[in-house]
């Protein structure tokens, strides 16, 4: 289990503005937690803190526990992280981009490719290995970034709006693919999303953040397994989430 214990984030210089206050939650292994909330409430900052890449101008106090052990997020490698922008390196090919995390983790190049290559097809990236990011559509770039994240053998995955640039059909496919993959190969996923349909379709629990500074104002378990989530069953949950988000006047 990945646990965040009261986390505060503030701007370290200037007015010392508080961005995030007393944020606590947990992500169980093999489960998906979606973090939703109005723009600017601090979702990305929370996820960046866990990934160990909070910018220098922010100061964080909090505790991160993995399987009950306190870890320093800045030590890196707690979780695979996919930032909001696809962050592919423009001077590397898609193959090189996708394999990069594995190579940094110490896998020889050929072995990294053996591991990544079979995933190009299910990600709709056939024929792109030798291309550069600028030669792909926005959706393809996002899928390549997602593949680079998923291919790493981490127990926890942090996804900051991973499907936001995808068209509706591709998005549905990727959500289904991710759900199936998690079934076969359970990981703990923390996913930031603005899409309530996505949150209720994908999550085992939805964490709602609101306010300035941002706090967790609700932690809502989704009470049915993913394969039994009809639109009718999910509609009242979405109404509940919408009401919580609209309550936030900041
Ligand atoms: N490098 C920075 N320096 C100072 N303030 C920052 C910096 N990055 C973000 N902020 C501020 O921190 C607050 C939280 O930003 P953050 O990106 O975490 O919010 P968010 O909920 O993820 O927003 P969005 O949904 O729009 O991505 C915002 O008020 C933002 O202006």
Q: Is 177 buried (19+), middle (13-18) or exposed (0-12) by CB count in 10 A?
A: middle
55 lines ligand 1 (CB under 6 A): yes
Question: 166 near 143, Cβ under 8 Å?
Answer: yes
Residue nearest to atom 9 of ligand 1 (CA): 45
> Does the structure show a pLDDT above 80 at 90?
yes
C-alpha of residue 25 to centroid of ligand 1, in Å: 20
ipTM: 0.94
Confidence grade of residue 76 (pLDDT, cut at 50, 70, 90): low
Place of tokens 């964490």: 207
Compute the distance from residue 154 Cα to the ligand 1 centre, in Å: 26
Average pLDDT rounded to a whole number, residues 220-241:
86
**Range 222-227 average pLDDT:** 82
Q: Residue with structure tokens 């990069």?
A: 100
- Cβ(124)–Cβ(169) below 8 Å: no
pLDDT band at 61 (very low <50, low <70, confident <90, very high): very high
Largest Cα–Cα distance in the chain? 53
Cα 113 to ligand 1 centroid, rounded to whole Å = 35
What's the gap in Å between 44 CA and the centre of ligand 1?
Answer: 7
Q: For ligand 1, atom 28, which residue shows the shortest CA distance?
A: 40
Q: What mean pLDDT value characterizes the chain?
A: 89
- Tens digit of each residue's pLDDT (9 = 90 or more) over 203-219: 999 999 998 899 999 99
Question: What pLDDT is attached to residue 115?
Answer: 94
């Amino acid at each position: 289990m990945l646990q965040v214990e009261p986390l505060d984030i503030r701007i370290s210089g200037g007015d010392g503005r508080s961005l995030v206050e007393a944020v606590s939650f947990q992500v169980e292994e093999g489960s998906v937690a979606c973090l939703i909330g109005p723009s600017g409430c601090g979702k990305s900052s929370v996820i960046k803190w866990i990934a160990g890449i909070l910018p220098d101008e922010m100061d964080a106090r909090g505790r991160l526990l993995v399987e009950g052990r306190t870890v320093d997020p800045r030590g890196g490698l707690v979780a695979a992280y996919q930032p909001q922008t696809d962050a592919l390196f423009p001077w590397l090919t898609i193959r090189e981009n996708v394999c990069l995390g594995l190579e940094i983790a110490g896998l020889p190049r050929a072995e990294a490719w053996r591991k990544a290559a079979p995933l190009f097809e299910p990600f709709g990236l056939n024929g792109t290995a030798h291309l550069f990011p600028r030669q792909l559509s926005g959706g393809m770039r996002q899928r390549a970034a997602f593949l680079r994240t998923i291919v790493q053998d981490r127990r926890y995955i942090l996804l900051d709006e991973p499907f936001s640039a995808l068209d509706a059909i591709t998005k549905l496919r990727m959500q289904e693919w991710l759900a199936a993959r998690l079934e076969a190969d359970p990981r703990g996923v923390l996913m930031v999303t603005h899409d309530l349909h996505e949150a209720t379709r994908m999550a085992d629990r939805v964490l709602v953040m609101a306010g300035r500074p941002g706090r967790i104002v609700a932690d809502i378990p989704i009470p049915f397994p993913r394969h039994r989530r009809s639109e009718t069953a999910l509609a009242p949950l979405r109404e509940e989430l919408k009401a919580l988000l609209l309550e936030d006047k900041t």
